[in-house]
Amino acid sequence: MKKQITFDRVTLGYDRKPILQDITFSVSKGDYLCIIGENGSGKSTLMKTLLGLIPELDGDITFSDGVKRTDIGYLPQQTPVQKDFPASVYEIVLSGFQNKCGLRPFYTKKEKENAIQNIIKMGISDLKDKCFRELSGGQQQRVLLARALCATDKILLLDEPVAGLDFNAMKDMYELIESLNKSGTTIIMISHDLSEVEKYASHILHIGKSVFFGTKREYLEHSEKKGGLI
Amino acid sequence: MDKLIMYMQYPFVRYALIVGVLIALCSSLLGVTLVLKRFSFIGDGLSHVAFGAMAVAAVTGLSNKMLLTLPVTIISAILLLKNNENSKVKGDAAVAMISVGALAFGYLVMNVFSTSSNVSGDVCTTLFGSTSILTLAETDVYLCVILSIAVVVLFIFFYNKIFALTFDENFAKATGVKTEKYNFVVATVIAVIIVLAMNLVGSLLISALIIFPALSAMKMFKSFKAVTICSAIISVLAALTGIIVSILMGTPVGSTIVAVDVVAFAICHGIGMVKR
Ligand SMILES: Nc1ncnc2c1ncn2[C@@H]1O[C@H](COP(=O)(O)OP(=O)(O)OP(=O)(O)O)[C@@H](O)[C@H]1O
Ligand SMILES: [Mg+2]
């Protein structure tokens, strides 16, 4: 397995104030890494650091195997969209291709077709011309996932993708993510849902007071020794 | 009607209409972005900076005031944006400081150094636009036309990038879009629009000219493209109506246009309610 992302003793935080120290882990192609930890333990901060939205305070983050930092598509924890934003589903999904445009002002025909493909893949083709802000939370998540797929099909970073979804929507979302993983996309997912994590993850990174990284099996053995999940 | 046709024979009336329509078109384009992004406060601050620059230009007796106001406003736009990205002073506080400072400075300069006999009249004109129809020098007209075309072309060229940036800047940045560069373009275009619009409605009413058409269009349409096109149409129609009314009734042109914009907003709000 070729490593795509390596964190080597990385310290992360805001404004030079560290929140987490000495984080070491790596992700290889096809992995399904789940990041778990309590509220406020720094999961979203880790994600922002990985994406390059905030700088790491110490240590090295390396990208290899033909992967660049900008090859990561992501689904934010909270959609930062203002209440009144006028945008159709299609416009939003298409905007995922912006990173491939460079200075080119318009999207190509191929990109437009791919956007439609991704909309179909997410099962939201009937919503294509709907206004984003008038969709339900679960529908919005799918739209943003379709956008992320336009930006890349190598690595997807998902920050609590099922928060606020009902049981069925949640199940659908997990299955969708699993099918993407099966087709070769590396998944990095932040989650609180331990039973689902046990079901789907190949690797687990636990952050907080104690930091653990390993395969799912290692994690289960480790937590058994400690008596229950850490 | 006869009165209108008679007026149309004068070149300055035709100039006023052409320039008015072009400025209205430009100022509506970035309305949505301004309304939805934190750029809105920058727009407000910049119009005050433009006022300060205009005051200095008036006092130094520059024949073409835009030669001073344009670069000053563009530089301030860039500085404000930079400051907003990496500073401890909250963005809006910095803008408030600069804008109120520029306003006071401009008035002071005009009062102390002005050779004109009617200082308060001059100030009023700069703040609220000229009291009667626009009287623009020919060079001003050309400059306005060229700048307006440049703004429209830039907007079309960067339309998709502006959408991505306005909708979700973090996502764009994370996936490798050069967001700083495009923010810079947007700030420059906003500065140009503000300097242009100051000719038409004066520096205090600029925000109205920029924001009302966008808010009106947002009441009726739900995709970015439709809202952008609709706000351009509303803005142009409102400017035309406003200018014509101001010619016929002798009202101040800037506030007339803004009043028409407000009426248009009320109508769109009504249509939006019915649609729902
Ligand atoms: N923009 C910010 N500036 C400074 N500190 C922040 C910022 N955002 C979050 N923090 C702090 O960083 C810590 C980690 O926050 P983070 O959002 O990464 O938690 P999380 O693990 O994602 O929690 P949750 O499960 O609630 O999503 C928290 O203590 C929070 O107060
Ligand atoms: Mg979080």
Question: Tokens 């007071």 sit at which residue?
Answer: A209
Per DSSP, what are the bridge partners of residue A13? A18
In this predicted structure, what is the pLDDT of residue B80? Answer: 79
| pLDDT(A172) > 90 | no
Measured in angstroms, the CA of A50 and the nearest CA of chain B are apart by: 9
| pLDDT(A33) > 80 | yes
Tell if the CB–CB gap between A99 and B170 is shorter than 8 Å.
no
Q: Are B264 and B212 in contact (CB under 8 A)?
A: yes
Question: Looking at A22-26, A79-83, B78-82, B186-190, which range is the least confident one?
Answer: A79-83
Q: What is the mean pLDDT of residues A97-101?
A: 88
User: Taking phi first (over 0 means left), then psi (-120 to 50 degrees means alpha), and beta for anything else, what does residue B218 get?
Assistant: alpha
* pLDDT tens readout for residues A43-58: 999 999 999 889 999 9
Task: Kindly provide the ipTM of the predicted complex, given to two decimals.
Answer: 0.86
| Nearest alpha-carbon partner for A7 in A207, A219, A177 | A207
In this predicted structure, what is the pLDDT of residue B132? Answer: 60
Q: Which two tokens stand for residue B78?
A: 């860039």
Q: What is the mean pLDDT of residues B88-102?
A: 73
Confidence of residue B84 (pLDDT cuts 50, 70, 90): low
Q: Are B232 and B28 in contact (CB under 8 A)?
A: yes
* pLDDT tens readout for residues A10-26: 999 998 899 998 999 99
| Nearest alpha-carbon partner for A53 in A77, A38, A37, A69 | A69
Q: Which two tokens stand for residue A190?
A: 């932040």
| pLDDT(B89) > 60 | no
Helical segments of A122-228, H only:
137-151, 167-182, 194-200, 216-225
Measured in angstroms, the CA of A224 and the nearest CA of chain B are apart by: 38
CA of A12 to the centre of ligand 1 (A): 11
Choosing from A17, A45, A77 the residue with most ligand 1 atoms within 8 A of its CB, the one to mutate for a pocket test is A45
| pLDDT(A61) > 80 | yes
Confidence of residue B30 (pLDDT cuts 50, 70, 90): confident
3-state secondary structure of A152: coil
Q: What's chain A's average pLDDT?
A: 88
> Which CATH number fits the domain that encloses residue B206?
1.10.3470.10
Interface of A with B (CB under 8 A): 51-53, 68-70, 72-74, 76, 79-82, 84-88, 91-92, 94-96, 98-99, 101, 105-107, 129-131, 134, 147, 151-152
B51 found inside a domain: yes
Ligand 1 atom, smallest distance to A41 CA: 21
A163 lines ligand 1 (CB under 6 A): no
In this predicted structure, what is the pLDDT of residue A186? Answer: 94
* pLDDT tens readout for residues B116-130: 667 777 777 777 777
Q: What's chain B's average pLDDT?
A: 84
In this predicted structure, what is the pLDDT of residue B249? Answer: 87
Q: Tell me the residues surrounding ligand 2 (ion) with CB < 5 Å.
A: A 43-44, 77
| pLDDT(B108) > 70 | yes
Q: Are A36 and A204 in contact (CB under 8 A)?
A: yes
In this predicted structure, what is the pLDDT of residue A96? Answer: 92
Tell if the CB–CB gap between A81 and B167 is shorter than 8 Å.
yes
Q: Are B213 and B206 in contact (CB under 8 A)?
A: no
Strongest mean pLDDT among A193-202, A217-226, B87-96 = A193-202
Query: Who contacts B21 (Cβ-Cβ below 8 Å, separation ≥6)?
Result: B236, B239, B240
B275 found inside a domain: no
B246 found inside a domain: yes
Of A52, A76, A82, the CB nearest to B36: A82
* pLDDT tens readout for residues B37-65: 766 667 778 888 888 888 888 888 777 77
Residue B85's domain spans which residues? 2-270
Q: Are B56 and B106 in contact (CB under 8 A)?
A: yes
CA of A144 to the centre of ligand 1 (A): 22
| pLDDT(A230) > 60 | no
Q: Considering only residues A138 and B150, tell me which one the structure prediction assigns the higher pLDDT.
A: B150
* pLDDT tens readout for residues B162-214: 999 888 888 898 888 888 889 888 888 988 988 888 877 888 888 888 889 99
B209 found inside a domain: yes
DSSP A31: -
Q: What is the mean pLDDT of residues A171-176?
A: 89
pTM higher than 0.90 for the full model?
Answer: no
What total of structural domains would you count in chain B?
Answer: 1
Residue B86, chain A, CB below 8 Å: the answer is no
Q: Considering only residues B199 and A101, tell me which one the structure prediction assigns the higher pLDDT.
A: A101
3-state secondary structure of A210: coil
B276 found inside a domain: no
Which long-range CB contacts under 8 A does A22-28 form with residues at least 24 apart? A22/A59, A22/A211, A23/A59, A23/A207, A23/A211, A24/A213, A25/A203, A25/A205, A25/A213, A27/A3, A27/A155, A27/A186, A27/A188, A27/A203, A28/A1, A28/A2, A28/A3, A28/A4, A28/A186
* pLDDT tens readout for residues A177-210: 999 999 999 999 998 888 888 889 999 999 988 8
